[in-house]
Amino acid sequence: MARLLESVPNFSEGRRPEVVRDIVEAATATPGVRTLDWSSDPDHHRSVVTLVGEPEAVLVAVKAMTARAIHHIDLRAHQGSHPRMGAMDVIPLIPLTGLTMADAVAAARRLAADLAAAHDLPVYLYGEAAARPANRDLSRVREGQFEGLSSAIARPERAPDYGPARIHRTAGATAVGARGPLIAFNVNLDCADVGVARRIAREIRESSGGLPAVKAIGLSLADRGQTQVSMNLTDFRRTSIGEAYRAVTRAAEAQGASVVESEVVGLVPAEALLGEAARSLRLSGFCLEQVLELRLLDDDGNAGGAKEVGR
């Protein structure tokens, strides 16, 4: 079985296409790595890339991307709606086939140490790789963003896991972690008042007593005259895309707003979308091997087994 590691680097540039292309090119030029997807958002001022390959090749690609991000991006002049603390803001590693979470944690810690040494960069560990329980939550690591971290980093409880206890002058700090698959799911609203989106996010996120396995923040999409409820669904089997969408819709209607559209950022497991379709159609006993394309893609002709979805 092939050993496949996924990484989804997020870097703080979404408005200069030539810069985004150069950073992504560092990944696409790396032997043994497939760049499955990348997207940029000018309101967020952020780009997200999905890579997969043998672990060592993926780490080489991410290191090359980080070097280019640090070269191109100056956070002192960066303003966007999405929270950020670094030029290369966050690098999650996700074990796929032939790897365990322990393998991903070990790779994350090695990557963090290498990036800190190569760039004199403060690097934090988060998620399953966190060295401190408080840092399992990425929002805790990124609290205060680039501007606030410049002073907070000197406090012992906010010190990085690797690198100097001071931010990089232009590149800030980076978070490296290990986690399972998640779905980045955004719902855009037809109102310009970001307070509405923030109240909805507070209502639906798990930390406020809302939906399980949902993280959410409210953001402004000023160029569009809209706001956004930006979510990470960390376990779509506990809260599906449809459940999250409907919760935002209900909360928006209660505040006199409505949904314009939704979007998935990056890739999404087939089961997440097929399960939602099965539930909507009330399909009985529907399983993944009934999907033609999945059967054709599977060398064994069984789409990984007759896994029932939609319940």
Q: Cite the active site residues.
A: 82
**Angle (CA) 247 248 254, round 5°:** 95
The 3-state DSSP composition of the chain as helix, strand, coil percent (nearest 5) reads 40, 25, 35
- In angstroms, the CA 284 to CA 52 distance is 34
Task: Name the residue among 36, 215, 179, 38 with its Cα closest to residue 96.
Answer: 179
Closest C-alpha to 30, from 70, 60, 10, 73: 60
Tokens 């690198």 identify what position? Answer: 163
Among all chains, which residue has been given the structure tokens 């322990």?
102
> Which of 82, 87, 85 has the alpha carbon at shortest distance from 71?
87
Element (H, E) at 188: strand 183-189
Read off φ and ψ for residue 246, nearest 5 degrees: -65, -35
**What are the backbone angles phi and psi of residue 106, rounded to the nearest 5°?**
-60, -40
